[in-house]
């Protein structure tokens, strides 16, 4: 048995959840490839390799993942965490903002999954986790682009789980809930309280708890094609 650490690629690693995931995977002994576009994470520790990775530039993305696979010999997990928002009601939503949000949240996840699936299928081992959203299930006023992209991630998750299962590649989706990140920092105290009160526990989620769950999920062997909602909002069954 090889003593080399498992390798995880995290996109959007410069954000709040990405940073928490990097910390938790490193703590678990993983080699972390920390993919960022605009905001570089903190200087790399011995278990972290920072790489500039724009998930919307497919050709460059494929080249980067090919190079990373050669460098680390394998990729055991992909966390599709890169995300973007451009909120506006339908009457005010322009095509550029529609395209950008779909490109980052959905098309970027597809491109990353396609690129890592090749080495994963060869090694007959791997786990892809797509970070979706409660908005993808229920919709959200002023977030037609974001909700559509996150709903698309759920369909992508189910389809890829069916396609890749015969090669022992698991694919799941996680809905992390509202988190204290830069993306939510622009919200008012009243808006954050509204999100908290929509939860049966009366509070929003924590970055550390979500990160711990995702690291645990990558360790499982028999879970695929599932959607995990990590807060205490209760949605209809259908």
Residues labelled catalytic: 146
H or E segment and range at residue 50: strand 48-52
Q: Judge residue 119's burial from the number of C-beta atoms within 10 Å of its C-beta, 0-12 exposed, 13-18 middle, 19 or more buried.
A: buried
Q: Can you name the residues that pair with 147 across neighbouring β-strands?
A: none
CA dist., res. 84 & res. 206, Å (int)? 20
H or E segment and range at residue 18: helix 16-27
Q: How far is CA 79 from the centre of its chain?
A: 5
What is the β-pairing status of strands 7-10 and 227-229?
unpaired
């Amino acid at each position: 048995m090889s003593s080399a650490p498992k390798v995880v690629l995290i996109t959007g690693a410069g954000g709040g959840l990405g940073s928490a995931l990097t910390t938790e995977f490193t703590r678990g002994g993983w080699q972390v490839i920390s993919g960022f576009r605009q905001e570089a994470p903190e200087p790399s520790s011995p278990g972290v390799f920072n790489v500039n990775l724009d998930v919307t530039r497919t050709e460059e993305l494929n080249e980067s993942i090919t190079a990373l696979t050669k460098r680390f010999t394998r990729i055991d997990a992909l966390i599709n965490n890169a995300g973007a928002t451009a909120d506006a009601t339908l009457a005010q939503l322009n095509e550029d903002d529609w395209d950008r949000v779909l490109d980052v949240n959905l098309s970027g996840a597809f491109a990353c999954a396609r690129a890592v699936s090749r080495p994963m299928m060869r090694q007959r081992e791997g786990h892809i986790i797509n970070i979706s959203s409660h908005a993808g299930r229920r919709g959200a006023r002023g977030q037609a682009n974001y909700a559509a992209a996150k709903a698309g991630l759920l369909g992508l998750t189910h389809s890829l789980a069916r396609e890749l299962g015969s090669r022992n590649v698991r694919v799941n989706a996680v809905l992390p809930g509202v988190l204290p990140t830069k993306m939510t920092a622009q919200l008012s105290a009243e808006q954050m309280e509204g999100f908290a009160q929509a939860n049966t526990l009366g509070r929003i989620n924590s970055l550390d708890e979500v990160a711990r769950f995702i690291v645990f999920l990558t360790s499982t062997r028999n879970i695929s094609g599932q959607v995990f909602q990590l807060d205490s909002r209760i949605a209809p069954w259908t």
